[in-house]
Structure 1
Amino acid sequence: MNNNNVMAETAMLPAEETEQTRKAKKAKKATRAAVFGTFVEYYDFSVYGYVAATLAMVFFPADDATTGLLNTFLVFGSAFLVRPLGAIAFGWLGDKVGRRASLIASITLMGAAATLIGLLPGYATIGVWAPILLVALRMLQGFSAGGEIGGAASYIREWAPASRRALYISFLPSIAQFGKGLAAAIAGLAAATLTDPEMLDWGWRIPFLLALPLGIIGLYMRLSIEDSPEFESKKDDAEVKKSQPFKELIRDYRMPLTKVILIALVQNVGTYIGTVFIAAYFSSILGFSKGQASTIVLIAVILAAFLIPLAGQLGSYKGGRAILRYSYIAYAVVSIPSFMLMQQGSVNLAIAGLALGMIPYALCQAGTYSVMPEFFPMHIRHTGVAFGHSVGAVIGGGAGPFLATWLIGATGNQFTPAFILCAAGVMGLIVISTVRKNAPADSTCHQFS
């Protein structure tokens, strides 16, 4: 080889390494900003469920505690009804203007709505306007949540190294667990340290008002990031400029969209029954104190937060579809034993039971978020993931807690949530058996049929 060529190639190495290092640093910074923002959004969105029993008395006073709790979960479910609208709006923003713009807008709206809930007068002060305003603010939270996960998952997917996408994306649901965990911890601390009258009077506001400083930090982080290289390189293409993301999604990607909806449905059933409804289940159905219920959920959620990246690492070797398959089998097998442990009247056994249920939950979280972006090309990816996940959330997450509460009241069977999780696992197995990877549609996106 010519010495001059060797010297020229050697001289290029530092520049190449510097560029690779710079890109790796930007990818990590982008991932941190997306992940922390999702942490904040999941805190804001989940805290409602962890103080549901108190909110029932503040906003829906009733002689029957079950009726008040049902009304509270109806409001919880109302947030899911507008998530598809948020997905369309934020999806358009993310696919046409940029992922960064969508992420900034979603965290701003979520934080503002949560803070206003914390300032809202109760039924005793303003009467029927209290639940009306609560519904309105909760729906704003749902609108924001509709765009968050699609934007964050698409953004991380487009920044992450191809060989480590499953791992990078797994940090999204993993850190989100800490958002839920913080919500459970703050709610549990308030319930444990305040008297019942204090909790009803002002204590329930504390978890919501914490959304303000958390939101400011998350907003600052997202303002400091760049759009993904993939989006930047293609945003001026004719295909992107002329595209109408939602119209194209419905017209050309109906089958991939249907599968994303069903995958998201199963994931949301596991999420909102296994980590949100379960807090009220422990206190209102099984007779644990509110402090004990929050502690049990907190421990399980933190365990899940550490299990999810392990599942994501497994996904880097086995693939997202494989770990989804494992999760669905686990849901069908372990849900009933999990609830049997919870019903023994022991805090330690309840922790063990819910921890067992976190195994399929962690696998499902990592698999769902790594698989969904692969169904769609870049120019409609945000809209496809956001809308598909949101519709699945309406059915699985919005209806799940209410359905479980209603069925327990109607049948008296405390295993009802376990039966719902088993059924979701079986349905997931049917769906994932129809998913196969085709040849890459382009150099960056693997289409799924």
Structure 2
Amino acid sequence: MDPTTLDAVDAHTDEHRRKAKKATGVAAFGTFIEYYDFSVYGYVAATLSVVFFPSDNPTVGLLNTLLVFGSAFLVRPLGALYFGRLGDRVGRRTSLIASIGLMSAAAALTGLLPGYAQIGIAAPILLVLFRMLQGFSTGGEIGGAASYIREWAEPAKRPFYISFIPGVAQIGKGAAAGMAALAASMLPAEQMESWGWRIPFLLAVPLGILCLYLRLSVEDSPEFTASKKEPATSTDSPLKRLWADHRRPLLKVVAISTVQNVGTYIGTVFIAVYLSTSLDFSKAQASTIVLFAVLSASVLIPCVGYFGSRVGGKKLLLMAYVAYIIVTVPSFLLMGLGSFPVAIAGLLLGMIPYALCQVGTYSSMTEFFPVQVRHSGVAFGHSIGAVIGGGAGPYVSTWLIDATGNVLIPAFILVGFGVFGIAIVAGTVRSSGSDRHLYR
């Protein structure tokens, strides 16, 4: 059965709409937990640098902590391959259940880990191991959730439905920032370094159990189920099929994902460290500033998703990249004035290109691949972009700020990638006049 025909016939029944809404909610809730668990590390990085990497030079300790943060990105492609194969061969639902279980377990183990003062060098080694397990899990979550929602949603509403993935991801980041801010504001520095940093990680246990229960209660996507009834046309692994038959779309996903991840991890995770170490805000103030920004993005992103259903992914991406060029430096200049409310306003300004880029990227990635390799294509392409853009971005920003003394380095990086993004979209992506999605 042709997937397009399946969409046209089945997606407009009341029962399908009800199931699509439930599937979207359950997939999005899992993404919330994934990004809460994954982002907590970044928001307490300044504390973790003291607990796991004690050093006379605070910058050295912070760089070591950010290297551990970046290590999670190195294994994301491996997780994407594993969960992508699982999702394309067995089912999206099975992959999503497995990924959330692993992520929650890794976060809980991190929260129970003794520090350097207790077990010496074993502490940072185990921290790296647990962080890499988180990265392995995250490698499969986005591809699975995006594919799953795309295959349930009505074609005309796909950008809006898929926008809930980055939307609730912001709520997850906001929850992580909120917990970090609450702990930092209520506990003295000594208690925060002793045990307070553990609380945000240990919340992964009840959240993970709830999400597992919900994901066990939903069906697999109808498009995937229908595809499994068709005769198999190839015995190759999804990765082999991707490289043989869908190389160009895969490279496009890597490119737009790289820009998206630079904006994500500099603009919403590294920014908490930047505010406290480069701009001299307290840790509690830094976490609160980020909390306001990401929660505002969680509201803005679905609005952009609704708008994206009308104008198309290419225009959204171009608007995002132009906005990065125009507003990023003013955004960082406002944060650098040293005023707490002005810093909030500055980061809120930076959420405009961020929201446009999130929706444009997520809604377009799933349109590049057929159902048989969609999970693998989105997961692997996005994870490679995350390694390049997200893994290196915070570390390079910290190193360049320390080397040059210029606190606008992160802004210049975002502007540069905005220019790069325009070149990518203008040269490799076109809009479909019939349904306004992105295609090869």
Counterpart of 2:176? Answer: 183
Counterpart of 1:309? Answer: 302
CA distance in structure 2 between the aligned counterparts of 1:182 and 1:224, rounded to whole angstroms: 25
Counterpart of 2:330? Answer: 337
Asked if residue 99 in structure 1 is aligned to residue 89 in structure 2, the reply is no
Q: Residue 68 of structure 1: CA displacement?
A: 0.4
Structure 2 CA distance for partners of 1:69 and 1:330, relative to 1, 3 Å: same
**RMSD of aligned Cα (Å):** 1.7
Asked if residue 121 in structure 1 is aligned to residue 114 in structure 2, the reply is yes
Counterpart of 1:448? Answer: 439
Structure 2 CA distance for partners of 1:299 and 1:439, relative to 1, 3 Å: closer
CA distance in structure 2 between the aligned counterparts of 1:96 and 1:437, rounded to whole angstroms: 30
CA distance in structure 1 between the aligned counterparts of 2:10 and 2:181, rounded to whole angstroms: 49
Q: Is the 8 A contact 1:34 1:156 kept in 2?
A: yes
CA distance in structure 2 between the aligned counterparts of 1:194 and 1:308, rounded to whole angstroms: 33
Q: Is the 8 A contact 2:87 2:95 kept in 1?
A: yes
Instruction: String of CA shifts for 1:296-348, please: whole Å, max 9, x gaps.
Output: 00000001000000110111000111111100000011110000000001001
CA distance in structure 1 between the aligned counterparts of 2:148 and 2:162, rounded to whole angstroms: 9
Q: Residue 231 of structure 1: CA displacement?
A: 0.4
Counterpart of 2:6? Answer: none
Instruction: String of CA shifts for 1:46-98, please: whole Å, max 9, x gaps.
Output: 00000000000000000011100000000000000000000000000000000
Q: Residue 254 of structure 1: CA displacement?
A: 1.4
CA distance in structure 2 between the aligned counterparts of 1:240 and 1:333, rounded to whole angstroms: 48
Structure 2 CA distance for partners of 1:209 and 1:18, relative to 1, 3 Å: closer
CA distance in structure 2 between the aligned counterparts of 1:342 and 1:18, rounded to whole angstroms: 46
Counterpart of 1:436? Answer: 430
CA distance in structure 1 between the aligned counterparts of 2:292 and 2:433, rounded to whole angstroms: 42
Q: Residue 18 of structure 1: CA displacement?
A: 12
CA distance in structure 2 between the aligned counterparts of 1:18 and 1:316, rounded to whole angstroms: 16
Asked if residue 361 in structure 1 is aligned to residue 351 in structure 2, the reply is no
Equivalent residue letter for 1:253: H
Counterpart of 1:407? Answer: 400
Normalising by the residue count of structure 1, what TM-score does the alignment of the two structures yield? Answer: 0.94
Counterpart of 2:244? Answer: 251
Q: Is the 8 A contact 2:33 2:208 kept in 1?
A: yes
Normalising by the residue count of structure 2, what TM-score does the alignment of the two structures yield? Answer: 0.96
Structure 2 CA distance for partners of 1:421 and 1:37, relative to 1, 3 Å: same
| Equivalent in 286, 289, 312 of residue 293 of structure 1 | 286
Instruction: String of CA shifts for 1:97-143, please: whole Å, max 9, x gaps.
Output: 00000000000000000000000000000000000000000000000
Structure 2 CA distance for partners of 1:19 and 1:353, relative to 1, 3 Å: closer
Equivalent residue letter for 2:378: V
CA distance in structure 1 between the aligned counterparts of 2:266 and 2:10, rounded to whole angstroms: 47
Structure 2 CA distance for partners of 1:429 and 1:305, relative to 1, 3 Å: same
Counterpart of 1:375? Answer: 368
Structure 2 CA distance for partners of 1:330 and 1:438, relative to 1, 3 Å: closer
Q: Residue 242 of structure 1: CA displacement?
A: 2.8
| Equivalent in 58, 62, 65 of residue 55 of structure 2 | 62
Q: Residue 438 of structure 1: CA displacement?
A: 6.2
Counterpart of 1:207? Answer: 200
Asked if residue 276 in structure 1 is aligned to residue 269 in structure 2, the reply is yes
Equivalent residue letter for 2:419: V
Q: Is the 8 A contact 1:282 1:288 kept in 2?
A: yes
Asked if residue 173 in structure 1 is aligned to residue 159 in structure 2, the reply is no
* SS of residue matched to 2:218: coil
Gaps of 5+ in 2: 1-8
Q: How many residues are matched?
A: 431
| Equivalent in 328, 335, 340 of residue 321 of structure 2 | 328
* Overall identity of the aligned pairs, in %: 64
Q: Is the 8 A contact 1:265 1:395 kept in 2?
A: yes
* SS of residue matched to 1:86: helix
Q: Residue 448 of structure 1: CA displacement?
A: 2.2
CA distance in structure 2 between the aligned counterparts of 1:59 and 1:19, rounded to whole angstroms: 54
